[in-house]
Amino acid sequence: MTTPAAVLVDAAAYAVAVQTATKAAAAYYATGESALDDDAYDRVVRGIAAYEAAHPDEISADSPSGKVAGGAVVGDVPHTAPMLSLDNVFGGEEFTTWAASVERRIGRPVERWSVEPKLDGLAVAARYESGRLARLITRGDGLAGEDVSHAIGMIAGLPDRLAEPVTLEVRGEVLMTTEQFEQANTLRTSHGGTPFANPRSAAAGSVRAKDRPYQVEMTFFAYAALPLGPAASGDDLAASLTELPHSDVLTLVAGLGVHTTATTTVPPRTVTDAEAVRVRVEEIGALRAELPFGIDGIVVKADAAADQLAAGSGSRAPRWAIAWKLPAVEKVTRLLDVEWNVGRTGTIAPRAVLEPVEIDGSTVTYATLHNPNDITRRDLRIGDHVMVYKAGDIIPRVEAPVAHLRTGDEKAVVFPETCPQCGSDIDTSEQRWRCVRGRDCHVVASISYAAGRDQFDIEGLGATRVVQLVDSGLVADIGDLFTLTREQILGLDRMGETSTDNLLAAIERAKGQPLSRVLAALGVRGTGRSMSRRIARHFGTMELLCAADAQAMQRVDGIGGEKAPSIVSELAELADLVEKLRAAGVNMTEPGATPPSDDPTPTEDGEPAADAGPLDGMTVVVTGAMTGPLEKLSRNEMNELIERAGGKSSSGVSKRTSLLVAGDNAGSKRQKAEQLGTRVVTPDEFAELIASLLTDDGGGGDNGGAAEADR
């Protein structure tokens, strides 16, 4: 979708737009802290360009048009060769028009296109002399940049020494991954600073910072390399850089030890025509939400050196490369309020109420705020301009306030003193606050969740029926479900004999669910469906699970020293409810599990021996719609089958993935698996592989389920 241009009706509006864009560009390229998000800046710049095209005699000398970095920054270290920006396109039609113009310019079809992610960071040039990193320079105005060599040693992926003693310049982006950004903000706020607004501003400011009492880690990804002046004249490898295709240059740089995106989930790829470019752009866009770093588009380049030379460059940008911008996933809006919602386990969660803003194709009015400590750490205030981030299907989240836009009218967020649901006291001893009544505070939500398909799977027990049971005093917790009588249910409104008998039959079937489902239904904080399966398979019985201490709990895959005591403590709190379920005849064992014993027979890796299943030691990912014998299974039920067969279920394809079960419309996960050489099977082939398990009572369901997610 093309970003619409701002409409400038007269010379006065044009002058204001030029001033706005110049000021925003200066802040963006200096520290990354602009008052405009990328989408808003693009709108203004396109409006300026449209006005200038219609009024060529009124072009301001301060206009950002045709200037590197919008003409906002300068530097004092001359570049070896101009370090240019990129022009933008915003959709397929614009790209096709641009690609045709390149081919007209060079007089022949482009040999092949290189397609790679456009990383959202700070462009720098790293100069290596005889293999040693000697200098770091920002892009500046494209002709000269700022010396930031003091940052050498702070940036992962940019080694102090290359694998060979070559003299060259590597150009790329310095950025922060999502994990590095969180660590940087924690470190910054612990030293009394305001949080970074977003990863780009964090990287831009950190590269330039010299006198901080702390040091944050950043990451470098190369996108180009070139010979470094006369010093490279006798260096065959460096000299060859001007003749190699772009894709080979990146391969060479990676071989020297410098990071490129080749090892990420969005590696550069060469294609032969514009339609293949479109396909690859869609593939990268689909992976955007899964990336560990931010991208704001895809860069398309003529790969061959001869094509680049023939196309040439302008004063601002090369004519053989373009940035295909993606819809914005990050916008600036205002924080209007903070709501406090109580979950089914009594957890009190804050939620940001936002001035509506369009992000990634949808209107966002709410965003997640993790916990009260997070609000304090980020110094969020009502009325703040805040950076809001959304990618793919991820719930929007507030990154940080844009502190330099504060007016002084902002107000502190008011934290609740009592539970917003029931008025009881609040337990504030942990980061996530909780009503002291726990599950009793929101008993309807707790019971409705427990009855859900991926827990007890009690058909016919929806939220409306649960409200009836609770309001009538028949049910106070999930244990009471299993002692309901026919007479009690018949006494409820709109419950006839047939519906009553069906509900009682569903409750009776629920008693036979495996331990993993029972554990999931209990809703232990810090666990979800996946973790519940791991815990159940490890201990095998509820008796052994409830007897486990924190040290024993840590032996479960994925449970560390921080989570283990919390799980043990909560299981102790649930002891009476567990006993109530046991007395009602609810199953307390996990089929196929091998419980830990006092005298296990160890394997070579030190783990107790267990009967190997058909997927023993394999990591399996399921994608697409299942067919055949697996058609009615939810994603959670598929994951249960995988783990009962000895495998480990996963949601993302990586080098560690052993097998991908690809159903209809498998999409990008299948493509990635094929790239990695991962074995791919159809649902029918997978059903044959685990045929013996499909006859067990544990599999099967009636309706499609939601994708699995831990709480």
Distance of alpha carbon 384 from alpha carbon 434, whole angstroms: 27
Cβ atoms < 10 Å from Cβ of 379: 17
Domain CATH for 378: 2.40.50.140
Residues 82-97 pLDDT 10s = 999 999 998 899 999 9
pLDDT band at 697; cut points 50, 70, 90: very low
Residue 425, C-beta contacts closer than 8 angstroms, at least 6 positions apart: 418, 419, 435, 436
118 flagged as catalytic: yes
Last residue of a domain, one of 288, 308, 325: 325
- Of the CA atoms within 13 Å of residue 266, those in its CB half-sphere come to 25
In the chain, what are the helix, strand and coil shares in percent, each to the nearest 5? Answer: 40, 20, 40
Span 257-270, average pLDDT = 89
Q: What are the pLDDT digits (tens) for 514-547?
A: 999 999 999 887 787 888 888 998 899 999 999 9
Q: Identify the CATH number of the domain in which residue 457 sits.
A: 1.10.150.20
* 431 pLDDT more than 70: yes
One-letter amino acid for residue 2 of the chain: T
Tokens 């320079």, residue located: 137
> Same domain for 144 and 261?
yes
Single-letter amino acid, residue 656: R
Given 67, 118, 325, 563, the catalytic residue: 118
Least confident of 65-69, 202-206, 332-336, 561-565: 65-69
Residues 156, 81 share a domain: yes
47-68 residue pLDDT tens: 888 888 888 888 887 787 766 5
Structural domain count, the chain: 5
Residue 168 shares a structural domain with residue 287 = yes
The HSE-up count of residue 579 (CA atoms within 13 Å, CB side) is: 5
Indicate if 227 and 347 belong to the same structural domain. no
Closest CA to 217 of 176, 187, 159: 176
Number of C-beta neighbours around residue 457 at 10 A: 21
Residue 577 located in a structural domain: no
Domain that holds residue 649: 619-694
Which among 39, 70, 101 is the end of a domain?
70
The DSSP H or E segment spanning 377 is helix 372-378
Q: Give the pLDDT confidence of 471-487 residue by residue, as tens digits.
A: 899 998 999 999 999 99
Q: Are 93 and 278 contacting, i.e. CB atoms less than 8 angstroms apart?
A: no
Residue type, 460: G
608 inside domain: no
Instruction: Judge whether 211 lies within some domain.
Output: yes
Among 273, 324, 390, which Cα is nearest to 2's? Answer: 324
Q: What is the CATH number of the domain that holds 45?
A: 1.10.287
Q: Which of 155, 157, 167, 161 is nearest to 133 (CA)?
A: 161
Biggest CA-to-CA distance, the chain:
95
Average pLDDT over residues 503-518: 94
Helix (H, G, I), strand (E, B) or coil at 97: helix
DSSP, res 211 = S
Residue 418 lies in a domain: no
- Average of per-residue pLDDT across 557-564: 82
Please give the pLDDT value at position 675.
Answer: 81
* % pLDDT > 70, the chain: 88
Task: Read off the pLDDT of each residue in 490-505 and give the average, rounded to a whole number.
Answer: 91
Nearest to 227 by CA among 218, 239, 244, 214: 239
Least confident of 223-237, 354-368, 422-436, 691-705: 691-705
Where does the pLDDT of residue 72 fall: very low under 50, low under 70, confident under 90, or very high at 90 and above?
low
User: Span 360-378, mean pLDDT?
Assistant: 84
Same domain, 258 and 111: yes
Q: How far apart are CA 36 and CA 26, in angstroms?
A: 11
For residue 417, pLDDT over 50 is answered with: yes
Displacement of CA 647 from its chain's centroid (Å) = 25
Residue 628's CB is within 10 A of a number of other CB atoms, namely 13
In a domain, 706, yes or no: no
Written as six digits, the tokens of 657 are 């993935």
**Residues 127 and 209 grouped into a single domain:** yes
CATH number at residue 255: 3.30.470.30
- Give the span between the Cα atoms of 139 and 207, in whole angstroms: 13
468, 494, 510 - which closes a domain: 510
In whole angstroms, give the CA distance from residue 485 to residue 706.
32
Residues 229 and 165 placed together within one structural domain of the fold: yes
Residue 578 covered by a domain? no
Q: Give CA–CA dist 220/204, Å, rounded.
A: 12
Residue 177 lies in a domain: yes
Are 66 and 83 in the same domain? no
Do 29 and 94 have their domain in common?
no
Q: Do residue 82 and residue 226 come from a single domain?
A: yes
Q: Strand ranges (DSSP E) for 582-696?
A: 619-623, 648-650, 659-662, 679-681
Q: Are residues 156 and 116 in the same domain?
A: yes
> Which residues 6+ apart lie within 8 Å of 625 measured at CB?
663, 664, 665
Rounded CA-CA distance 175/185 in Å is 14
Dihedral pair phi/psi, residue 416, rounded to 5°: -70, 145
Assess if residue 425 is contained within a domain: no
Residue 598: Cβ within 10 Å count: 4
For residues 485 and 377, membership in a common domain is answered with no
CB 132 within 8 Å of CB 332:
no
CATH of the domain at 681: 3.40.50.10190
Name which of 648, 659, 640 is nearest 616 in CA terms.
648
pLDDT tens column, 389-401: 876 556 788 877 8
Band (pLDDT 50/70/90 cuts) for residue 605 is very low
